[in-house]
Amino acid sequence: MSIIVLLGAPGAGKGTQAPTLANHLDVPVLASGDLLRAAVAAGTPLGLEADRYMSRGQLIPDDTIVKIFLDQLRSRARNGAVLDGFPRTRAQAEALDRALAEHGDKVDRALYIAVPLDDLVVRMASRRICEANGHVYNVATNPPQTPNQCDIDGSPLIQRPDDEEATVRARMAQQVPPLEDVAEHYRSAGILRTVEGRQSIEGVSGDLIAALEDGAPA
Q: Which residues in this chain contact ligand AMP in the complex, by CB under 6 A?
A: 10, 32-33, 36, 53-54, 57-60, 65, 85-88, 92, 162, 171
The radius of gyration computed from the CA coordinates of the chain, to the nearest angstrom, equals 16
**In angstroms, rounded to a whole number, what is the distance separating the alpha carbons of residues 136 and 148?**
12
Helix (H) / strand (E) element for 114: namely strand 109-114
Per-residue DSSP letter, 161: G
- Closest residue to ligand AMP, Cβ-based? 33
CA distances in angstroms from 42 to 48, 85, 143, 218, listed in the order given: 9, 20, 28, 41
Q: Could you give the angle at the alpha carbon of 40 between the alpha carbons of 34 and 46, nearest 5°?
A: 100
Q: How far is the CB of 51 from ligand AMP (least distance, A)?
A: 9
**In angstroms, rounded to a whole number, what is the distance separating the alpha carbons of residues 218 and 114?**
13
Residues designated catalytic: 14, 88, 127, 160, 171
**In angstroms, rounded to a whole number, what is the distance separating the alpha carbons of residues 215 and 190?**
9
CB nearer to ligand AMP: pick between 162 and 207: 162
Helix (H) / strand (E) element for 122: namely helix 117-125
**In angstroms, rounded to a whole number, what is the distance separating the alpha carbons of residues 188 and 166?**
34
Q: How far is the CB of 115 from ligand AMP (least distance, A)?
A: 14
CB nearer to ligand AMP: pick between 69 and 211: 69
